[in-house]
Amino acid sequence: MSERFPEVDWYCDRCNAYLNDQPGFDDHHYVWKCTVCGHKNSISSDSIYESEEEYRNFNQ
């Protein structure tokens, strides 16, 4: 199955762990529980930012 969001790097919103390499990660899931900290991350187009700066400014 192909990726829903090809070339998107996903990071945990709580601990900033790289999600793409976590065992079983699949961007077809709408929520992914980080295997490092347990935070449930939204995997959707609304959660894609061009940069970390854009993400930080959006969440202020």
Looking at residue 26, its pLDDT comes to: 94
pLDDT in tens, 15-33: 999 999 999 999 999 999 9
Q: Sorting pLDDT into bands at 50, 70 and 90, what band is 3?
A: confident
Looking at residue 30, its pLDDT comes to: 94
Q: Flag whether the pTM goes above 0.85.
A: no
Hey, how many other C-beta atoms are within 10 angstroms of the C-beta on 39?
Answer: 13
pLDDT in tens, 33-42: 999 999 999 9
